[in-house]
Amino acid sequence: MSDQKNAQTRRPTGFYILILAALLCLASAILYSINFRGIDYSHGSLFSDAAFISLIAAAAVSIVMLFIKLENFAPVVLCVASGVSFLVYIHHMVWPIADIFTAIDPVSFVPELIVCGVLLLMSFILSEVSLYMKKRNLSA
């Protein structure tokens, strides 16, 4: 009887993957804000307020949705926001990356550029994975 009760109170893997994806969204938004806010490049700013705000809002909304019984829609919010933020990030970083690869400006390479991009991509992938996983136990 105790094992059956523990099995009903334990959360499925999809729940934890969604929480991890939301935490990665928050981490990438914070890292993106710390490293790229206020840096202007010859082709424009490297920071996008839209990407930053959408990551923070999506992480908060998806976590709230998990706990108000809308867990099936939480990964959709997180997936769309992290995917769009990743595309906005690429849009803002295309010129610095092109200048590095063509050796126009090889000195200005910032390792955080890759770390932030990987965090954004991982949050998108994990939110996509959590779309197809159970996020709550079905009670009989």
CB atoms within 10 A of CB 25: 30
Q: pLDDT, tens digit, for every residue of 29-80?
A: 998 888 877 666 666 667 788 888 999 999 999 999 988 888 888 889 999 9
Report DSSP state, residue 41: E
Q: Determine the Cα–Cα distance for residues 67 and 22; give it in Å rounded to an integer.
A: 14
Q: pLDDT, tens digit, for every residue of 95-118?
A: 777 777 777 765 566 777 788 888
Residues counted in the chain: 140
Q: What is the pTM for the complete model shown?
A: 0.79
Task: Report the pLDDT value the prediction gives residue 42, as an integer from 0 to 100.
Answer: 62
Q: Determine the Cα–Cα distance for residues 136 and 15; give it in Å rounded to an integer.
A: 7
Assigned token pair, 96: 């610095």
Task: Report the pLDDT value the prediction gives residue 107, as an integer from 0 to 100.
Answer: 58
Q: 22: closest CA among 85, 109, 105, 87?
A: 85
Q: Where residue 140 falls among pLDDT bands split at 50, 70, 90?
A: very low
